[in-house]
């Protein structure tokens, strides 16, 4: 038999988590799920072009999508536990697939984000050419799949950032600014740092500086008071440039405060943007596989 698609792995995967009711590493359920599906040794040995196990990949995506819907929770990276809703779904015997998961707002929002990325890429490529899904060419399907993988990766990055030590988060912020070639950075050493968590020296002598504020929040938003404190710290230190970075989001009044900070140029980086920048600059992300796609070269035949 051929290996089923990832949606067919959802019910067997959730059943394994339901039987345990404990926190389990996602990769540790591969063999049991394979047994439940009756996969042969030949099925289990199949690999993708990237070299990764087909079955392991299907288990990963089935598990990840159910996590995004709320049927599973993720106490730490790579580890999952079934939720009360997940137990309810298992007991109901309902068939789980993407269509079923779409009834959960969290999953629908996740898919909308993925689809928005794919739609934007499609619109950029086709401009005003009208086509439906049946006209999507293979290259676009590859690009759409890459968008989906990137959304999942950024979610992993952001989820990890929200759980790490705040001081480690500050050092990661410095690493990002350096990776983006803004200069050489340092984390401020004192608790009473005046609302400044890091400093980027844009030149070798440190004549031009960027001040950083890093807030690692699980929930809530950066508020107006926190933004005013940051603006005040810039003014006190006679600095005009600032970057405020958070794993969360910014309240509207905080955004207005930053925008209206006369004499200061303040850039705001929220959680999703932070995760995207880290992915793009290979921080907390590494290259997995290169796919060599060639196109016809008519000039060779001339």
Q: Judge if 187 and 98 occupy the same domain.
A: no
Give domain status of residue 48, yes or no.
Answer: yes
Among the ranges given (61-70, 109-118, 119-128), the one the predictor scored with the smallest mean pLDDT: 119-128
Look at residue 83 in the predicted model and tell me its pLDDT: 96
Provide the token pair at 55. Answer: 């079955």
Q: Does the pLDDT at position 175 exceed 50?
A: yes
Q: Looking at 80, 103, 126, which one is the last position of a domain?
A: 103
Q: Does the pLDDT at position 101 exceed 90?
A: yes
Total structural domains within the chain: 2
- Give me the helices (H) in the chain, please: 10-20, 30-37, 41-44, 54-69, 84-92, 98-101, 105-126, 138-161, 166-179, 224-236, 252-259, 271-280
Q: Does the pLDDT at position 124 exceed 60?
A: no
Q: Looking at 48, 78, 103, which one is the last position of a domain?
A: 103
Among the ranges given (100-109, 166-175, 176-185, 292-301), the one the predictor scored with the smallest mean pLDDT: 292-301
Residue 21's CATH number: 1.10.10
Residue 210's CATH number: 3.40.1350.10
Q: Judge if 86 and 187 occupy the same domain.
A: no
What percentage of the chain exceeds 70 in pLDDT? Answer: 87
192: exposed, middle or buried (Cβ count in 10 Å: 0-12, 13-18, 19+): exposed
Give domain status of residue 11, yes or no.
Answer: yes
Give domain status of residue 181, yes or no.
Answer: yes
Look at residue 277 in the predicted model and tell me its pLDDT: 94
Give 225-250 pLDDT, tens digit per residue: 999 999 998 988 888 899 999 999 99
Give domain status of residue 118, yes or no.
Answer: no
CA 63 to chain centroid, in Å, comes to 16
Give 186-225 pLDDT, tens digit per residue: 887 654 455 688 899 887 777 788 999 999 988 889 999 9
Give domain status of residue 285, yes or no.
Answer: no
β-pair type (72-76, 24-25) = unpaired
Question: What is the average pLDDT value for the chain, to the nearest integer?
Answer: 85
Give domain status of residue 70, yes or no.
Answer: yes
Look at residue 220 in the predicted model and tell me its pLDDT: 85
Give domain status of residue 123, yes or no.
Answer: no
Q: Looking at 103, 127, 146, which one is the last position of a domain?
A: 103
Look at residue 192 in the predicted model and tell me its pLDDT: 47
Q: Report phi then psi at 48, rounded to 5.
A: -80, 170
Query: Of residues 195 and 172, which shows the higher confidence score?
Result: 172
Grouping H, G, I as helix, E, B as strand and the rest as coil, residue 130 is: coil
CA distances in angstroms from 173 to 18, 69, 146, 194, 295, listed in the order given: 39, 30, 26, 18, 40
Give domain status of residue 116, yes or no.
Answer: no
Q: Judge if 71 and 173 occupy the same domain.
A: no
Q: Judge if 185 and 96 occupy the same domain.
A: no
What domain range includes position 176?
A: 166-280
- What average pLDDT does the segment 48-61 reach? 84
- Give me the helices (H) in 237-270, please: 252-259
């Amino acid at each position: 038999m051929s290996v089923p698609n990832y949606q067919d792995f959802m019910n067997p995967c959730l059943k394994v988590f339901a039987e345990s009711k404990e926190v389990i590493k996602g990769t540790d359920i591969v063999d049991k799920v394979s047994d439940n599906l009756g996969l042969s040794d030949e099925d289990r040995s199949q690999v993708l072009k990237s070299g990764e196990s087909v079955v392991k990949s299907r288990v990963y995506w089935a598990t990840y999508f159910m996590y995004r819907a709320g049927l599973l929770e993720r106490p730490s990276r790579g580890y999952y536990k079934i939720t009360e809703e997940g137990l309810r779904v298992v007991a109901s015997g309902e068939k789980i697939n993407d269509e079923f998961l779409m009834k959960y707002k969290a999953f629908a929002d996740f898919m909308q984000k993925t689809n928005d990325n794919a739609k934007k890429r499609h619109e950029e490529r086709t401009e005003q050419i009208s086509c439906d899904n049946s006209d999507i060419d293979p290259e676009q399907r590859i690009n759409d799949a890459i968008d989906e993988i990137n959304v999942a990766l950024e979610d992993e990055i952001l989820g990890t950032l929200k759980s790490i030590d705040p001081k480690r988060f500050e050092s990661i912020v410095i690493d990002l600014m350096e990776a983006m070639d803004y200069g050489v950075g340092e984390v401020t050493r004192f608790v009473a740092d005046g609302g400044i968590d890091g400093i980027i020296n844009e030149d070798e002598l440190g004549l031009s500086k960027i001040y950083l504020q890093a807030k690692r929040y699980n929930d809530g938003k950066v508020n107006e008071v926190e933004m005013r404190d940051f603006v005040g710290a810039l003014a006190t230190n006679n600095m005009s440039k600032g970057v405020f970075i958070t794993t969360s989001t910014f309240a509207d009044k905080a955004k207005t405060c930053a925008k209206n900070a006369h004499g200061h140029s303040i850039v705001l980086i929220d959680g999703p943007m932070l995760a995207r920048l880290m992915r793009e600059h290979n921080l907390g992300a590494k290259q997995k596989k290169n796919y060599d796609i060639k196109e016809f070269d008519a000039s060779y035949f001339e």
